Amino acid sequence: MITASTDETGNRFELLVQSVTDYAIYMLDSTGIVASWNAGARRFKGYEAHEIIGQHFSRFYTPEDQASGVPAMALYAAEHEGRFEAEGWRVRKDGGRFWANVVIDPIRSPDGRLLGFAKVTRDLTEQRAAQDALRASEDRFRLLVQSVTDYAIYMLDPVGTVTSWNMGAERFKGYKTEEILGQNFSRFYSEEDRLAGLPSRALHTAQSMGRFEAEGWRIRKDGSRFWANVVIDPIHTPDGTLLGFAKITRDLTERREAQRTIDAARDAIIQTQKMDAIGKLTGGVAHDFNNLLAVIVGSLDLARQRMATGGDINRYLDNAMTAAERGATLTQRMLAFARKQELKLQSIDCVILVQGMAELFRTTLGAAVSIEMRFPPMLGAAHADPSQLELALLNLAVNARDAMPGGGRIIIDATQTTITQDERPDLGAGDYIRLSVIDEGEGMDAATLERAREPFFTTKGVGKGTGLGLSMVHGFAQQCGGSLTIASEPGIGTSVSLWLPMAAADADARHVAMVVEEMHDPDTPLVILAVDDDDLVLMNTAGMLEDLGHTVFQASSGADALRLLERGSVDLVVTDHAMPGMTGAQLADAIEQIQPGLPVVIVTGFAELPPHATQRLRLDKPFKQAELVRTVATAMRGALIPAVAARGPDPILPDC
């Protein structure tokens, strides 16, 4: 066994100490004189061994520390307390300063006698600079946050306790820092929000989702409310431990009030525009209806005079009927504009439909205009609502006539065409029937053409039209899945084209031809209850039904109708929809409760019925006797009990 000598061991320790470069490790005698010096001391203190050994270690201290006796106090503490440690500024040979961590341990002999001191110094200048930079950054951010006055920026601990508070929070929440620190942030919420658990849900959302944002009412110290935008973000340590939350609140009360003011102003502008539009509509409708009423009143007056002398009155009755039909058309225009018209889409033979309108065109447009129809030998069926298509074509024809004050020719043209994908932005890919109404009139310039389809826009002058014609036709085409196009040139004429999708090939599809109104005479007279709050309309409806041989009882309200039904039963109820107290749809529901299966026809002038009443059979105002006959027949075919079945104990008996 080889044992190292004491000298060899001492040499190894000396080599070890001398090799250390990150620490200054040296010895002092009992009075503080430097007795040894290593490479680390030489590196960051700058002294060679021969320059410093034998010198007092106090020269490493600043003049301020030397004057304060810090070196002596350090040795005293090491001797009497067994150890001294401190950080502070030290001085290099060149006068430069560095921040040092200093440890001084006493060295004693085996009998306890003080031999000197071991001093270890570490240069922490870089670490201190980093800490100072971090501290300065924290101070800047703290100053930044504290200086913000438009946002409340503060921290919460994991359970929502306020741990910091800035000027913005103080400004619009009203709490001083000392008043709110240590309090839970839930006090900023209203009582109802606290009872609903909104504060805890906000923290849970921020923790689980990484962020929470919302707007709502918050409470100031004085109890007043303000509208706030709130953002809560979780704060985690690098290992993922939740430290708390950063909460940013902004007072949006003024902005919210400003937005409400803007919205109110916008609503007022819209209302003004609506009133302007209503004014235009009223003027146009009044003009058109006055013309129609003039024809009706004048024709009926002449008819009464001629009838008194035994003259032929058919011509005057025809004029009155034509004017009334035009009034119905005008009403349908307004309904189609005011409400999305409920269409009855079906397969239509456009050639037969247009040819069937020949007489209507002739009586409506007058003798100064000639109609020329151009149809190909074979034309597919269109998918549309036949009655609305008739109305659309009539509107276009009237517009074409008005564009030719001196008369002229109107061409109605039909072609079948295929649209490919992305060929036109207003139409999808598929097959279409294009119906065009072409005139040789004044035409339109670019500005007029741009506005032609706007509601209430008309070139006929103030009070000479509603401006709903093209708007209604455009809406109808779009509802059918098609489009409306207009081509025009001043002095040459205008071509307005309706693009309607072709009907799907179906062996059972029926092409609708609206040429002759089919009359239906019921085989068995019925007992019918007619209901309407307008006496004139009620008398007219009852008269039509009685003329067909039916027994008709009359009620002026839904309540009266139910009282009559309690006394007996009827085969059918024909009721108006728009009645005060109880609508026709509500009456039908009540009848279903007391007499299930009793057919009810709802007469309406509206474009739409309530959703629950759409399954009822409807009859649109105004209607002719032939339309009433068809509706009654349809209602009786769908009844659960045939009209000839027993009606109960007795039919309704009149009161007088």
Cα Rg of the chain (Å, integer)? 50
Instruction: Kindly state the helix (H) or strand (E) to which residue 488 belongs, with its residue range.
Output: strand 483-489
Q: What is the pLDDT of residue 206?
A: 92
CA distances from 365 to 49, 131, 359, 491 (A): 124, 95, 10, 21
State whether CATH 3.30.450.20 applies to domain 148-251.
Answer: yes
Q: Give the model's pLDDT for residue 638.
A: 65
| pLDDT of res. 517 | 37
Choose the most confident range, by mean pLDDT, from 11-20, 69-78, 294-303, 389-398: 69-78
Confidence band (pLDDT; 50, 70, 90) for 653? very low
The tokens 């002398």 sit on which residue? 309
Beta bridge partners of 116: 29, 107
**Hey, where are the domains in the chain?**
6-129, 148-251, 257-329, 341-501, 527-637
Distance CA 458, CA 452 (A): 7
Across residues 9-26, what is the average pLDDT? 67
- What are residue 511's phi and psi, to 5 degrees? -80, 125
Ranges 109-123, 174-188, 625-639: which has the least confidence? 625-639
- Note the helical H segments in 103-223: 125-147, 167-173, 177-180, 191-195, 198-209
Tell me, what's the pLDDT at 411? Answer: 92
Give the 3-state secondary structure of residue 436. Answer: strand
The tens digit of pLDDT for each residue in 387-404 reads: 788 878 887 888 888 888
Task: Tell me phi and psi for residue 540, to 5 degrees.
Answer: -65, -45
651, pLDDT greater than 50:
no
Q: Which of 212-216, 403-407, 419-423, 452-456 has the lowest mean pLDDT?
A: 452-456
Question: Over pLDDT 70: what percentage of the chain?
Answer: 79
* CATH code assigned to 6-129: 3.30.450.20
Give 562's pLDDT tier (boundaries 50, 70, 90).
Answer: very high
Selected from 3.40.50.620, 3.10.580.10, 3.30.565.10, 3.40.605.10, the CATH number assigned to the domain covering 341-501 reads 3.30.565.10
Confidence of residue 641 (pLDDT cuts 50, 70, 90): very low
Beta carbons of 174 and 220 less than 8 angstroms apart: yes
Residue 422 pLDDT > 90, yes or no? no
What secondary structure, in 3-state letters, does 277-300 show? HHHHHHHHHHHHHHHHHHHHHHHH
Specify the pLDDT at position 69.
92
Q: Tell me, yes or no, if the two domains 6-129 and 148-251 fold the same way.
A: yes
Residue 400's nearest CA partner among 463, 324, 454, 452 is 452
pLDDT over 50 at 162, yes or no: yes
User: Which residue in 556, 567, 557 sits closest to 594, CA to CA?
Assistant: 567
The average confidence (pLDDT) of the chain is 80
Measured in residues, the chain has a length of 656
Q: pLDDT tens digits for 28-48? A: 999 999 999 988 889 888 999
Segment 89-147, tens digit of pLDDT: 999 999 999 999 999 999 999 898 999 999 999 988 888 888 877 777 666 766 666 66
Give the span between the Cα atoms of 56 and 34, in whole angstroms: 6
CA–CA dist 18, 16 (Å, integer): 6
What's domain 527-637's superfamily in CATH?
Response regulator (3.40.50.2300)
Residues 265-294 have pLDDT tens digits of: 777 776 665 566 555 555 556 666 676 777
pLDDT digits 0-9 by tens, 488-544: 888 888 898 999 999 876 433 343 333 333 333 455 789 999 999 988 788 888 888
Query: Partners of 382 in the beta sheet?
Result: 348, 502
Instruction: Please check the confidence at residue 607 and state whether its pLDDT lies above 60.
Output: no
Tell the burial category of 231 from Cβ atoms under 10 Å away from its Cβ (0-12, 13-18, 19+).
middle
Q: What is the pLDDT of residues 84-101, one digit of tens each?
A: 999 999 999 999 999 999
Across residues 593-598, what is the average pLDDT?
88
